[in-house]
Amino acid sequence: MTDLPGRRPPPLPDENPTLKERLDNLRHLGRLVAQIWRTSKPLTAASIGLRLIAALQPIATLYVGKLIIDEVVRLIALEAPGPGFADWWQSGLLGPIVTLLLIELTLVLVNDIIARATGLVDSILSELHSNTVSVELMAHAAKLDLTHFESAEYQDRLERARRQAAGRNALLSQMFGQAQDILTVITLAAGLFFYAPWLILLLPLSFLPAVWGETRFNTLAYMLSRWRTPERRELEYIRHVGASAETAKEIKLFGLGDFLIERFRSLAHQIYLENRRVAALRAGWGAVFSAIASLTYYGAYGFIVWRTITGEFTIGDLAFLSGSFLRLNGLFQKILLGFTQIAGQSMYLDDLFSFFEIEPSVLPPAQPKAFPVPIRTGIVFDNVGFRYPETENWVIRHLSFTLSAGETLALVGENGAGKTTIVKLLTRLYDPSEGRITIDGTDLRDMDPRDIHTHIGVIFQDFIRYSFSARDNIGVGRIEARQEQARIEDAAERSLADAVIARLPKGYDQQLGRLFKQGRDLSGGEWQKIGIARAYMRDAELIILDEPTAALDAKAEAEVFTRFKGLASGKTAVIISHRFSTVRMADRILVLDNGAILEAGSHEQLLAKKGRYAELFELQAAGYR
Tell me: the pLDDT tens digits for 130-150? 888 878 878 877 777 777 776
Measured at the CA of 70, the angle between CA 64 and CA 71, to 5 degrees, comes to 85
SS (H, E, C) 557-588: HHHHHHHHHHHHCCCEEEEECCCHHHHCCCCE
- The enclosing H or E element of 133 equals helix 95-143
Q: What is the DSSP annotation of 210-264? A: HHHHHHHHHHHHHHHHHHTHHHHHHHHHHHHHHT-TTTHHHHHHHT-HHHHHHHH
Residue 566 lies in a domain: no
Q: Would you state the pLDDT for residue 440? A: 92
Helix (H/G/I), strand (E/B), else coil: 505: coil
Q: How many CB atoms lie within 10 A of CB 447?
A: 20
Give the residue, 409 or 464, on which the prediction is more confident. 409
* Predicted confidence (pLDDT) at residue 211 exceeds the cutoff of 90: no
Question: What is the rounded average pLDDT of the residues 351-360?
Answer: 76
pTM (2 decimals)?
0.61
- pLDDT per residue over 243-260, tens digit each? 666 676 567 666 777 778
**Whole-number pLDDT of residue 205:** 67
DSSP 71: H
pLDDT confidence of residue 12: 42
Q: Give the CA distances from residue 220 to residues 16, 187, 224, 284, 287, in Å, rounded to whole numbers and listed in that order.
A: 7, 35, 6, 15, 18
Give the residue with greater pLDDT, 623 vs 292. Answer: 292
Residues 278, 224 contacting (CB under 8 angstroms) = yes
197: exposed, middle or buried (Cβ count in 10 Å: 0-12, 13-18, 19+):
exposed
Same domain, 328 and 473: no
**pLDDT over 90 at 379, yes or no:** yes
Q: Is residue 482 part of a domain?
A: yes
Q: How far apart are the first and last CA of the chain?
A: 41
- Does residue 217 belong to any structural domain of this protein? yes
Q: Give CA–CA dist 383/563, Å, rounded.
A: 34
Please state, in angstroms and rounded to a whole number, the distance separating the CA atoms of residues 117 and 47: 9
Check residues 260 and 44 and name the one with the higher pLDDT. 44
- CB distance 471 to 507 below 8 Å: no
Whether the per-residue pLDDT at 28 is higher than 80: the answer is no
The three-state secondary structure class of 62 is helix
Question: What is the C-alpha to C-alpha distance for residues 188 and 190, in angstroms, rounded to an integer?
Answer: 5
What confidence tens digit (pLDDT) does each residue in 310-337 have? 878 888 888 887 787 777 767 776 776 6
Identity at 487, one-letter amino acid code: R
CA distance 582 to 560: 10
Does 352 share its domain with 470? no
Residue 380 pLDDT exceeds 90:
yes
Residues 6+ apart with CB under 8 A from 28: 346, 349, 350, 352, 353
Among candidate residues 522, 539, 556, the one where a domain is terminated: 539
* Residues 473 and 351 placed together within one structural domain of the fold: no
The CATH number of residue 476's host domain is 3.40.50.300
pLDDT at 430: 87
DSSP E strands in 445-593: the ranges are 456-459, 542-546, 572-576, 588-593
Residue 149 in any domain: the answer is yes
User: Is 526 a member of any domain?
Assistant: yes
Q: Among 196-205, 352-361, 533-542, which is the least confidently predicted range?
A: 196-205
The mean predicted confidence, pLDDT, of the chain is 79
Please report the sign of the dihedral spanned by the C-alpha atoms of residue 467, residue 470, residue 472, residue 477: positive
Bridge partner list, 573: 408, 543
Q: Please give the Cα distance from 546 to 463 (Å, whole number).
A: 10
User: Of 190, 192, 186, nearest to 313 (Cα)?
Assistant: 192
For the chain, the maximum distance between any two Cα atoms, rounded to a whole number of angstroms, is 128
Q: Are strands 596-601 and 588-593 parallel, antiparallel or unpaired?
A: antiparallel
Write out pLDDT tens, residues 503-558.
999 999 998 887 777 888 888 778 878 888 887 887 788 888 877 666 566 666 66
Residue 40 lies in a domain: yes
DSSP strand pairing (442-443 vs 434-439) = antiparallel
Q: Is 534 within 8 Å of 463 (Cβ atoms)?
A: yes
Check pLDDT > 70 for residue 107.
yes
**CA distances from residue 273 to 227, 428, 511 in whole angstroms, order as listed:** 14, 47, 44
Query: CB neighbours of 105 closer than 8 A, spacing ≥ 6?
Result: none
Q: Domain for residue 378, yes or no?
A: no
User: What's residue 239's pLDDT?
Assistant: 77
Range of the domain at 252: 21-356
CATH number, domain with residue 272: 1.20.1560.10
Q: Are residues 30 and 172 in the same domain?
A: yes
pLDDT tens digits for 284-300? 887 787 777 777 767 77
Task: Please tell me the predicted confidence (pLDDT) of residue 6.
Answer: 46
Determine the pLDDT at residue 589: 92
pLDDT of residue 2: 46
* 336 is a domain residue: yes
**Residues whose CB is less than 8 angstroms from the CB of residue 85 and which lie 6 or more positions away in sequence, other chains included:** none
Number of structural domains found in the chain: 2
pLDDT recorded at residue 549: 62
Instruction: Tell which of 356, 380, 408 closes a domain.
Output: 356
- Residue percentage of the chain with pLDDT more than 90: 13
Stretch (H or E) spanning 526: helix 524-538
Final residue belonging to a domain, choices 513, 539, 565: 539
Looking at residue 59, its pLDDT comes to 86
- Which residue from 130, 112, 99, 95 is spatially nearest to 50, judged by alpha carbons? 112
pLDDT of residue 113: 93
* Greater model confidence, 318 or 472: 472
Residues 112 and 244 in one domain: yes
More confident residue, 41 or 581: 41
What span, in angstroms and rounded, lies between the C-alpha atoms of 156 and 600? Answer: 42
Please list, in sequence order, all residues whose beta carbon lies within 8 angstroms of the beta carbon of residue 10, skipping any fewer than 6 positions away: 223, 224, 227, 228, 274
Q: What is the pLDDT of residue 3?
A: 45
Above 90 in pLDDT, residue 164? no
Q: What is the mean pLDDT of residues 424-439?
A: 91
